[in-house]
Amino acid sequence: MARGPRFVPLPGPLDEEDQEGALNANRVFYRAFNERDFGLMEEMWAHTAAVSCLHPGQHPLYDRAAIVESWRRILAGSGSTQVRISDERVLFARGGLALVTCRELLPQAPLIATNGYVKEAGAWRIVHHHSGQTPPPATTQTQAPAAKRDRRRLH
Amino acid sequence: MARGPRFVPLPGPLDEEDQEGALNANRVFYRAFNERDFGLMEEMWAHTAAVSCLHPGQHPLYDRAAIVESWRRILAGSGSTQVRISDERVLFARGGLALVTCRELLPQAPLIATNGYVKEAGAWRIVHHHSGQTPPPATTQTQAPAAKRDRRRLH
C-alpha cells in the first residue's frame, strides 16, 4: 500500500458548487413565472440539450419551441398568480447535471415538481419540468397535533 | 494555434455507455413491477444516495424505507396488472447520473414518468420516480392521418 490506496473513493452524487448552481437556476425558473418574464423563461430552457416538459394532465412536450410557446401561454393567462416554492431538494448535482424536486404552492392547487438541469456553456439551464398534483403539505401533520390535543383532554 | 485548440469541447449531456446503463435500469425497474418481484424492486432503489418517490396525487416520499414499503403495497395490490413502457427518452446520462422519461401504459390510465438514476458501486439504481396523468398517446396522432385522408378524397 506504499503507492497509495488501490481503490479511490467514487464521487458522491452531490458536488456543492453544482448543487448551488442548480438550486439557483430552480429559483430563477420560478422567478420568471412570478414576474411574468417571458424572455427569462425562454432563456432558462436549454438550447442544445434535449428538453422535455410534462405539464399536469397534458400531452408531453419534447420540442423546445413547443415548450417555450406553452410557457408563453401560461405566463399570458395566469394573471397575477404567484407560485411559492417550498421543500426544495437536490437528488443529485455533479459534473453539470442536476435533479431538483420542490413543491409548487399555487392558490388553486398544491403541485409538486421534478426539474432537471444541465450546465450549458457555463450556465445552468432547465432541461426537464414535470409537475403534478399532490395533497397540501399541511395535511401530513394533521394527525399528530389532534392526537396530542385528545391526550390532554383525557387528563 | 500550434499548441492545439484553446477551448476543448465541453462534454455533451449523453455518454453512450451511461445512456445504455440507465435505459437498462429503467427496464429492470418496470420488470420488477410486472413480475411482482419485490426483492428486485427493493434492490433497484439506491442505498446511499438521496431518494424520492412521487406517486400520482399522493404525498411525496423521501425516505427509502417508506418508498420501498409503498412499492411492497403496490406490488401486493396490483393483481396481474401489466405496465407497458413506451416513448423512453434519456434527457441526460453522464458520469453516473441519468434522467429518463417514459410513458407508463396501464389498463386503467395512461401515465407518464420521470425517473432519475445514479450509478452506485458500479450498478445503476433508481433515485427518483415521479408519475402522473397524461392523455393516451394515440390522441396526439388523430389529426394528421385524418387530414391525409381528406386530402386524398379531394383528388
Tens-digit pLDDT profile for residues B48-94:
999 999 999 999 999 999 999 999 999 999 999 999 999 999 999 99
pLDDT in tens, A13-36: 899 999 999 999 999 999 999 999
Burial zone of A39 (CB within 10 Å; 0-12 exposed, 13-18 middle, 19+ buried): exposed
The enclosing H or E element of A133 equals strand A123-133
Closest CB to A118: pick one of B51, B57, B92.
Answer: B92
Chain B positions in Cβ-Cβ contact with residue A91 (cut-off 8 Å): 49-52, 116, 127-128
Instruction: Judge whether B61 and B67 are in contact, CB under 8 Å.
Output: yes
Identify the sign of the CA torsion A51, B58, A71, A91. negative
pTM: 0.84
Chain A positions in Cβ-Cβ contact with residue B62 (cut-off 8 Å): 89
Where does the pLDDT of residue B153 fall: very low under 50, low under 70, confident under 90, or very high at 90 and above? Answer: very low
ipTM for the predicted complex comes to 0.84
Q: In what order do the strands lie in the sheet with B84-94?
A: B52-54, B123-133, B110-120, B97-105, B84-94
Q: Looking at chain B, which residue has its C-alpha nearest residue A136?
A: B59
Chain B positions in Cβ-Cβ contact with residue A127 (cut-off 8 Å): 13, 91-92, 99
Where does the pLDDT of residue A12 fall: very low under 50, low under 70, confident under 90, or very high at 90 and above? Answer: confident
Tell me how far apart the alpha carbons of residues B106 and A77 are, in angstroms, rounded to a whole number: 33
The proportion of chain A whose per-residue pLDDT surpasses 90, expressed as a percent, equals 79
Structure confidence at residue B139 (pLDDT): 56
Cβ within 8 Å of residue B51, ≥6 positions away: A91, B45, B62, B64, B67, B126, B127, B128
Tell me how far apart the alpha carbons of residues B19 and B13 are, in angstroms, rounded to a whole number: 10
Tell me how far apart the alpha carbons of residues B89 and B100 are, in angstroms, rounded to a whole number: 6
Structure confidence at residue A153 (pLDDT): 38
Instruction: Judge whether A45 and A51 are in contact, CB under 8 Å.
Output: yes
How far, in whole angstroms, is CA B143 from its chain's centroid? 28
